[in-house]
A and B are shown apart, each in its own frame.
Chain A
Amino acid sequence: MTGALIDLSFAAFSLVAIVAGVRVFRTDSMVRAAFYLLASFAATGGIMVLLGAEFLGMVLILMMAGEMLVMAIVMVMYMMNPAGLNPMVMVHQPRTAVVAGVIAFLAIAGVGLSGEVPSRPAPDPAAATAELGRELLGNSMLVFQTAGVTLLATMVGAIAIAAPRGRHGDAAEGSEEPGLQPDEEASA
């Protein structure tokens, strides 16, 4: 691809990533929020592909498709508004949050812009995927295996926490409607 085309694609992807990212928290439906999050992630994956990390970008997009659907299913299971087409506002401390977000952005962007970024571009982005494969099963095999074992431990732990029968009793205990009063337990 030529330089101008890359710049144009980068501008488009960045715009989608940021606008969709903001829309995640400014929309009135959780399912829409999940779709916006997916759009933001897909655009970020696109930027990664532009940067030469083809495999990482595509895997990010692949991973997020599944994750968005899991979010949708969790919403059906637990949230009070499963289909998510009815508007709702569920926000607390919005001003503090905005200030914190802006400060985080300014601080990180400031560090990024004020620091001296060394210019050592990747020699051959086309070989990145093959290099990653050799690295995974070569020098970094221990790291890779550790990541695998971590994921296995996570699976075991997640199932232990979420299993229907366990130290928190039967699943049926929680299968009733949530109380309408937020402070039901406090008064009980």
Chain B
Amino acid sequence: MTTEAVLVVGAALFGIGVFGALSQQSFVMLMMGIELMINGSLLVLVAMWARAAGGSPDGQMLAIVFMTVMAVEMSLGFALITGVYRVRRADITEKLRKLKG
């Protein structure tokens, strides 16, 4: 398991996430794409922590911050889905052509 191999896997996860976030119509699927992107970055971060930063504890701390970002993204995303559904009855991106509520 070389460091480069882990970086390539992380990049692949990020690329898949970009593809998903751009191609999916459903809000939930779109969020899955964003999740995969954060997941890829998290993997790269942990690889760097373990192999290139001498295992300094700050690296793990940064990973915890990444996970916080993930949780914030999810909860606000779901709250926005709920809010948008209430106002627009929309469950796909195509139904949101204008920003005005």
Would A and B touch once assembled, by the CB under 8 A criterion?
A: yes
CA distance A176 to B6 in the complex (A): 47
Count A interface residues, CB 8 Å.
Answer: 96
Smallest Cβ distance from B81 to chain A, in angstroms?
A: 6
**B91's contact among A40, A80, A102, by CB below 8 Å, is which?**
A80
CA distance A125 to B60 in the complex (A): 12
A113 near B4 (CB under 8 angstroms)?
A: yes
A113 near B7 (CB under 8 angstroms)?
A: yes
Inter-chain contacts of A18 with B (CB < 8 A): 9, 12-13, 16
**B67's contact among A6, A60, A161, by CB below 8 Å, is which?**
A60
Give per-residue flags for A171-182: 1 if the beta carbon is below 8 A from chain B beta carbons, else 0.
101101011001
Count B interface residues, CB 8 Å.
Answer: 79
B61 near A51 (CB under 8 angstroms)?
A: no
Q: Does chain B have a CB within 8 A of A109?
A: yes
Smallest Cβ distance from A112 to chain B, in angstroms?
A: 3
Give per-residue flags for B37-67: 1 if the beta carbon is below 8 A from chain A beta carbons, else 0.
0010011101111111111011011011101
Inter-chain contacts of B91 with A (CB < 8 A): 78-80, 178
Q: Which residues of A contact B (CB under 8 A)?
A: 6-7, 10, 14, 17-18, 21-22, 24-25, 30, 33-34, 37, 40-41, 44, 47-48, 50-53, 55-57, 59-60, 63, 67, 70-71, 74-75, 77-80, 90-94, 96-98, 100-102, 104-106, 108-109, 112-113, 117-125, 128, 131-132, 134-136, 139-140, 143-144, 147, 150-151, 154-155, 157-159, 161-162, 168-169, 171, 173-174, 176, 178-179, 182, 185-186
Apart from A25-B33, A101-B20, A154-B71, 15 more pairs, CB < 8 Å: A7-B1, A21-B17, A33-B32, A51-B46, A77-B85, A78-B85, A112-B8, A112-B10, A125-B50, A132-B60, A143-B61, A154-B72, A158-B79, A161-B80, A161-B83
